[in-house]
Amino acid sequence: MSHPYDLVVIGSGPAGQRAAVQAAKLGKKVALVEKGRRLGGVCVNSGTIPSKTLREAIVYLTGHSQRSVYGQSYRLKAELTMDDLLWRAQNVVEAEVDVIEDQLRRNHVELVCGFATIISPTEIAVTELDDADRRLETSAIVIAVGTTPSHPSDVGFDGQTVFDSDQILDLKKIPASMVVVGAGVIGIEYASMFAALGTRVTVVDQRGSMLEFCDDEIVESLRFHLRDLSVSFRFGEQVEKVEVGTQGTITTLASGKRIPAETVMYSAGRQGATEELDLDAAGIEADKRGRISVDAHFCTSVDHIYAVGDVIGFPALAATSMEQGRLAGLHAMGETAKTMGECQPIGIYTIPEISYVGRTEAELTSDSVPYEVGVSRYRELARGQIVGDPYGMLKLIVHAQNRRLLGVHVFGTGATDLVHIGQAVMGCGGTVDYLVETVFNYPTLSEAYKVAALDATNKLRTLDRLLG
């Protein structure tokens, strides 16, 4: 059956944008529905782009990255305001929105601004922002609506004293103290940012640690660094209530502890933004957190309806969401599309950064895989001294028998860029010997790969020698 559109995408974040453009590049007629007045979704408007720009402004204006060189009192600007920090974020956001608009226009993707509701597996109703109603008939649908912060009923969010991660850009001033509820990626990123600004931060989480999917040694390095910035941790603790007074907040834990702070940032989970879509009309179910289950090609239980991005759950990162959208766009249009490989990088924009690709020591130990580790520390690299990063490290995990690279874990300046060297080697099935034999520019942080590779191969050589 023929429909006016080959594909309708709901949501203009990284996943939806890539799905729409990919289908359009195949010569298909595509419409993209966006409920907001600005394109880009949470990623561009209140999440990834502004938060990472805010981080960059903090690192630069506080002089944080140069304090090991010029002393702990060094600051580029003595008195910082939220306006100082957010000015740069606003400019970057505007530029990104312009780029997205231009890309959609050049690829002839029709933009429909309004709220989408699925009427049937092939029909979508849109209440446009001017209150006009419109119906879109389509052969395929991609759901890329993203997520919204969870708002427990017993927490009184006001966007100023008690706020979620999407509201943080509305802060009027830098708080003197803050409780961060949730030690996931978003919570720890913001905890490190405000700690770098001099805010006294307390992190609370009911789990036993933070970033539990990361390598233990890397997480411990970050935890040590955050403690050095006076961050306190309360793990294994449940928040019972948050009270707001005239002078600030009191966060009461189930254990009876009470934590005073000027502000509270609640970052304990996100919900898929599927409530208003009426998924039942399409024959699709979401779980209790609003997330949609998909197969390896991002197809839902209905074979021509796809879901991509944060709405399908972990890893819920912009980079993976983009690739999910591209692959779904291909598959939905009947093109041959590979599935996502396992060699996907994870980037966490704390201060300093964390990034990794591949497996952790704990995972390999659990699976009884023999391995050796090679480590390079930034303080031993000339470039590490030049950039003033004495904390950073790069860790390689190497198979003890076939010498293949199994994991790369980086902590420190440029971690989210550096990890791609290891990703490329792993993607090609490369061994640690490739890194040993490669010449890296000097002085660079990339040289850490060769130092860590030599460390690993020396350990493997010792084993071989002892075994005779």
Q: pLDDT tens, 278-320? A: 999 999 999 999 999 999 999 999 999 999 999 999 888 999 9
Examine the pLDDT at 70 and tell me if it is beyond 70. Answer: no
pLDDT tens digits, 37-63: 889 998 998 889 999 999 999 998 887
Over the chain, what is the mean pLDDT? Answer: 92
Residues 37 and 166 in one domain: no
Confidence bin at 269 (pLDDT 50/70/90):
confident
Residues 37 and 62 in one domain: yes
Does 87 reside within a domain?
Answer: yes
Does 341 reside within a domain?
Answer: no
Residues 215 and 131 in one domain: no
Last residue of a domain, one of 268, 303, 318: 268
Confidence bin at 338 (pLDDT 50/70/90):
confident
User: What does the alpha-carbon distance between residue 423 and residue 405 come to, in Å, rounded to a whole number?
Assistant: 9
Range of the domain at 361: 352-467
Examine the pLDDT at 468 and tell me if it is beyond 70. Answer: no
CA distances (Å), origin 396, targets 69, 149, 161, 185, 217 = 28, 35, 43, 22, 12
Q: Hey, what are 79's tokens?
A: 């008195």
Residues 209 and 138 in one domain: no
- The DSSP result for 55-117, as a single string, is HHHHHHHTTGGGHHHH-TT--SSSS--HHHHHHHHHHHHHHHHHHHHHHHHHTTPEEEEEEEE
**CATH number for the domain harbouring residue 201:** 3.50.50.60
Examine the pLDDT at 166 and tell me if it is beyond 70. Answer: yes
pLDDT tens digits, 217-247: 999 999 999 999 999 999 999 999 999 988 8
Examine the pLDDT at 2 and tell me if it is beyond 60. Answer: no
pLDDT tens digits, 78-109: 788 899 888 989 999 999 999 999 999 999 99
Does 154 reside within a domain?
Answer: no
Confidence bin at 195 (pLDDT 50/70/90):
very high
User: What does the alpha-carbon distance between residue 123 and residue 135 come to, in Å, rounded to a whole number?
Assistant: 7
Looking up tokens 């041959």 gives 336
Residues 107 and 171 in one domain: no
User: What does the alpha-carbon distance between residue 269 and residue 149 come to, in Å, rounded to a whole number?
Assistant: 6
